[in-house]
Copies of this chain bind each other. A is one copy, B any other.
Amino acid sequence: MTNEQQSIRVNLCSSGKEKPQADQLAFGRSFTDHMFVMDYTEDEGWHEARIVPYAPLMIDPSAMVFHYSQSVFEGLKAYLNDDGEAQLFRPQRNFKRMNHSNDRLCIPPIDETFALKAVKQLVSIDKDWIPQAEGTSLYIRPFIISTEPFIGVAPSRHYQFMIILSPVGAYYEEGINPIKIAVENDYVRTVKGGTGEAKTGGNYAASLKAQEMAEEGIAQVLWLDGVERRYVEEVGSMNIFFKINGQVITPALNGSILDGVTRNSVIRLLQHWNVPVEERKISMDEIYQAYQEGTLEEAFGAGTAAVISPIGQLVWQEHMEINDGQTGAIAKSLYDTLTAIQYGKIPDPFNWIEKVDDIGENTLKATN
């Protein structure tokens, strides 16, 4: 039996939790009624796919994830369209990336098609949790942890693949708003040959200190490459773009940068609009020079959480103000278009949207 043919056992909770108020939606603090879980052992492969009430895990203190951080995760969202349907944005790329991360971390691959089926079924079951207000959505967090009770440095022989859901508010309370970021000169997030292009916990643990040390008001730090400390990599949990003299530039995927779904969508939209866009190495010197010459027209981050984050101030050598600290035209168009596609308000010329079918109560009862 391949995973694709595997069925998902469903065990619904008897009474749901209270949902957070629309105006009290924080990011990642409340979770829905159910979660998806699947186990891996060497003998059985991935097995026992199930949707069960959201509940604490029972894990041995020697489980490898606590000691050697062999884990990967993903992040995507479900949006409600005007017809009340739930829809996902390019979810296939998330599971493809998860398998890429798995490979780097020596975690056995998942069946991407089956994972998408699981996400859809889970979202459908907890559909009432998708908030309706403008800019809100349901954040989806698939993740894999190594659960073998063994404190030796080696790939785990047991894993758990889980998906949990969290209703989230608009990232910016008053819509899109420029942020201030600072270039990080001391700490490094990762390096060529490391785990930078994998979405693994260790990269994020390594990033905390720089943020802690950053001056007040810095929303995120901008990472430079770990070798020459000259080339721009990414910001916090976003990829980065610069518009210099009419040309949009983003760092090329070099092994230490995450291959962002939003990054890829931005590039495709710009190409579609015939805006020149280049993926290549870009150094802080080049950016600073453009700033001094007055050709640094825009800078923005791109990621699932905030979609597009215009950068109003960039700190390196001095406080560079970009586009008078205002949201630039390209950033604005990208934000408007991407969110309009995500919420189904305009046509979807790239086939990026994957709708989630409603699963009738009866179907569920039958499998229950």
Q: Which residues on A are within 8 Å of B, measured CB to CB? A: 27-29, 31, 35, 54, 56-62, 65-71, 73, 104-106, 139, 141, 143, 145, 149-155, 162, 164, 166, 186-195, 200-209, 211-212, 226-227, 229, 236-237
- Across the two chains, which residue of chain B brings its CB closest to A139? B151
- Min CB–CB distance A187 → chain B (angstroms): 5
Q: How far is the CA of A153 from the CA of B154 in the complex (A)?
A: 27
Residues of B contacting A207 in the complex (Cβ-Cβ under 8 angstroms): 153
Residues of B contacting A60 in the complex (Cβ-Cβ under 8 angstroms): 56-57
User: What 10 additional pairs, Cβ within 8 angstroms, besides A28-B151, A29-B149, A202-B206?
Assistant: A28-B152, A58-B58, A67-B204, A69-B204, A106-B212, A153-B237, A186-B193, A187-B194, A195-B202, A195-B205
- The residue among A27, A141, A187, A203 with the most chain B CB atoms within 10 A of its own CB is A203
Question: Can you list 24 A-B pairs with a CB-CB distance of less than 8 A?
Answer: A28-B152, A29-B149, A35-B61, A56-B58, A62-B141, A62-B164, A65-B66, A69-B69, A69-B201, A69-B204, A71-B205, A105-B209, A153-B204, A153-B236, A188-B191, A189-B194, A190-B191, A191-B191, A191-B226, A195-B202, A202-B202, A202-B203, A202-B205, A226-B227
- Min CB–CB distance A212 → chain B (angstroms): 5
- Min CB–CB distance A35 → chain B (angstroms): 6
Partner of A66, one of B71, B106, B151, B189: B71
Q: Say yes or no: A202 contacts B67, CB within 8 Å.
A: no
Q: How far is the CA of A81 from the CA of B307 in the complex (A)?
A: 62
Partner of A31, one of B62, B73, B105, B203: B62
Residues of B contacting A27 in the complex (Cβ-Cβ under 8 angstroms): 151-152
Q: How far is the CA of A35 from the CA of B203 in the complex (A)?
A: 29
- The residue among A29, A208, A209, A226 with the most chain B CB atoms within 10 A of its own CB is A208
Q: How far is the CA of A27 from the CA of B73 in the complex (A)?
A: 29
Residues of B contacting A69 in the complex (Cβ-Cβ under 8 angstroms): 69, 71, 200-202, 204-205
Q: How far is the CA of A57 from the CA of B73 in the complex (A)?
A: 21
Residues of B contacting A28 in the complex (Cβ-Cβ under 8 angstroms): 62, 150-152
Q: Say yes or no: A208 contacts B153, CB within 8 Å.
A: yes
Partner of A206, one of B35, B194, B208: B194
